[in-house]
Amino acid sequence: MSKERIKIAPEMFDIMPEEYQDLVERATYGNEHRGWKDIGTSKELIEEHSLCAGCPESMAFRYILASLPAPEDTVMVGSTGCTSLVFPHVGVHNIHSLFGNQNAIASGLKRALSVRFPGRVKDVVVLAGDGATVDIGLDMTLQAWFRQEKFTTICFDNELYANTGGQESGLMQKGFVAKMAPVGKTFEKVKLPEIARESGCHYVVNCTVSKPNLVEKVIKNAIHVAREIGPTYLQLYTPCILEIGKNSMEGLQEMRDSEKPTERFAYKEYVSDQAKELLTELAAKEKERKAALKKQLAGQA
Amino acid sequence: MATQSLIGTKNRAGQVVTDAWKLLHEAERTPCFYTGSEVIKEAVRRSNCDVMIAYPITPQSEAAALIGELFAEGFIGDYFRGESEFAVMSQCAGAAFGGARVFTTTAGPGTMRAMENFPMWAGARLPIQMIVTCRGINSPLSIQPDTLEISYLLNTGMLVWHAETAQDFYDWILKGYMVSEEPDVHLPLALCCDGFFVTHTKDVVNLTPADMCLPPYDPYRSPVPCMDMECPPVRMMRDPFVMKSNYISYATHASWQQEVWAAIERSRKHTIRWLDGLIEVDKPDAEIQIVSSGTAVSQGREAQVLLEEDGIDVGIVKIKALRPWPEDEIREATKHAKHIIVPEFNVTGWLAKEIRATIPNPERVYAGPHVCGGMTMPPEVIAADLKKHLGLKAESLAGRGS
């Protein structure tokens, strides 16, 4: 989509909602260097949300939407769950169809966009909860990876079914007592990052969303690798503060506690050789761009 | 319209994009002796299809694989094998959300496994075409012809047509896109046939030229935005209705469902135009009418001949479209009938129930004969059941206890 498409006819400008005016004037569509630092100075692609106060998922949503390399040509696919309460607020096309079929939807979507727009970049990004990704949708998650579908899968791992009230999920920790796990979960947290690597993902990261710069980096890497090479997977810890008995202001600390080196969300990354090559190339270009910019600024001074 | 401006140009396979009405009504036809599966392939060859997604299940596997050959030859934009019917129908949805003309095939247990997708397709207004080559869905496992699965499709919000012959199949695949892609319809189509009887038998089918194809699908004629980021993304709502329990929320969902069914109603005029009516009637004045759909109609025709030999005058009503349901047409076609016989290839007699709910004096309907699980329906059985119903002596039929 060209940014031209969201422009408003000058005669109609003043009658359009303020929010849309903002989208036209202050959004970062088309800015290839967009990132989390635009938050607060530009129009975000998500403004309000209907999640619980202090929900880390809302932070994750903001960082991810700010970090999409080309939101003007990105279609997101969600699933049923807390994320499906947020997508209606998001300023990129997004699809909700059924619970768990997100990677199947994305497979068909990516292929259709490739047929319809040959030679153009159309990124597809899946964003779903752990129930959708690992339990009800695991088959379709894995099969999309086996087929080397070129899109990114992001799992918001809150280690339970949050939207239905805190039931056991496959990504829940062993021993955790929850609804439908009345004596504690009896089996280990499913090792999806490892399974992703073995299933053909070229870039896999397991981390929390406590650090916006890290989220931006992994989102951009994952989308660039998916665009050029093949499937990528990000498992992001977005704790459900409500269901683990935390207060609204404790989400960030919960993530910091869980990302310590010995904890289950210690930063973990797998990059295939092909992806390494691409990311090295992209990093070199970025370095070059920044150096040129620095030089230019120095010249101006 | 973008699609009309492409008339006369060539598509990705070098076929000439042709006005659909001319292609189907004026272009030269060549008779070919093909199986039903081959006929599906030949129709898809001419349908300017963007994406086909396949999964093996008898009796549609051959057709699904033959369409793969079309992909290899460059007639289809993309093609792959999904991992299950549920996944395939979701993949079809993804492709249709992305603005592609989509084709798929399924059968029996596959239809049932995929079922959650169908109301979603209709609700999302995706004009996907799905061939259903009906087979048994019961346990113990059966692969034999049986039309019970159609009854499950009737309330999904999809258009549902039931082809009798391979010629129907050929024409209706092409016509199906023309109806389901109309902006005031824009709904998926389940184009059903009786597995094996149609898919695995050979018949003479008159084909349109292979170097001509339908105009491409134009996703920007859709009543809902195509998910390709080529039109402005809008925030759909501030509070998603899914989390609300109030009147506005209920009213929104209610009106959305009503709109899907209103779209089925709006498809009526297009379906009548393209299929030359929702039903086909032979001898409307006869006091006995055999009313059916699919290959039960063919057997009814044979029974009609047998009964005429015995001096019993019988008419035939072939139901082509089940959704939209030909309510007025069936009432009109059966208004003189004292007896309405509804032979079906399923155990429950869902078609007879629909007809009973449609016509005045429904006691006129005799629901049967019903054969299922792969049993054939010899015309003698229809004739014998009819005679028994009329209180006439019928010949004894071996193995039927009569």
Structural domain contains residue A212? yes
Mean pLDDT by 10 residues, chain B (402 residues): 78 97 98 96 98 96 95 97 98 98 97 97 97 94 93 98 96 98 98 92 96 97 93 68 76 92 98 98 97 97 97 98 98 97 97 98 96 92 95 74 46
Is the omega angle on the peptide bond into residue B188 within 30 degrees of 0, that is, cis? no
**Residue ranges per domain, chain B?**
2-221, 280-390
**Which structure tokens are listed for B282?**
């032979």
- pLDDT < 70: residue spans in chain A: 1-3, 301
Structural domain contains residue A191? yes
Q: Given an 8 Å threshold on Cβ–Cβ distance, is B229 in contact with A122?
A: yes
Nearest CA in chain B to A139: B83
- Which residues, 6 or more positions from A94, have their beta carbon under 8 angstroms from its beta carbon? A75, A76, A77, A78, A87, B227
Containing domain of residue A264, as a range? 47-274
Average pLDDT of chain A? 94
CATH number, position A148:
3.40.50.970
Q: How many CB pairs under 8 A join A and B?
A: 149
Residues in chain A with CB shorter than 8 Å from the CB of B78 are: 111-112, 114-115
3-state helix, strand, coil in chain A (%, to 5): 45, 15, 40
Nearest residue to B54 via CA among B74, B91, B80, B89:
B80
Three-state DSSP class for residue A118: coil
Rounded to two decimals, what is the model's pTM?
Answer: 0.96
Nearest CA in chain A to B239: A50
Structural domain contains residue A103? yes
Alpha helices in chain A (DSSP H): 18-26, 56-67, 83-86, 102-116, 130, 138-146, 192-198, 212-228, 251-258, 273-300
Query: Whole-angstrom Cα distance, residue A52 to residue A256?
Result: 20
Candidates B227, B234, B242, B249, partner chain A, best to mutate (most A CBs within 10 A): B227
pLDDT value of position B4: 58
Q: Which CATH architecture has domain B2-221?
A: 3-Layer(aba) Sandwich (3.40)
Residues in chain A with CB shorter than 8 Å from the CB of B239 are: 50
Q: Given an 8 Å threshold on Cβ–Cβ distance, is B229 in contact with A1?
A: yes
pLDDT value of position A210: 97
Q: Given an 8 Å threshold on Cβ–Cβ distance, is A50 in contact with B239?
A: yes
Query: Whole-angstrom Cα distance, residue B133 to residue B146?
Result: 9
Can you name the CATH fold of B280-390? Answer: Rossmann fold (3.40.50)
Structural domain contains residue A133? yes
pLDDT value of position B238: 59
Nearest to B100 among A93, A106, A112 (CB): A112
Residues in chain A with CB shorter than 8 Å from the CB of B80 are: 111, 147
Overall domain count for chain A: 1
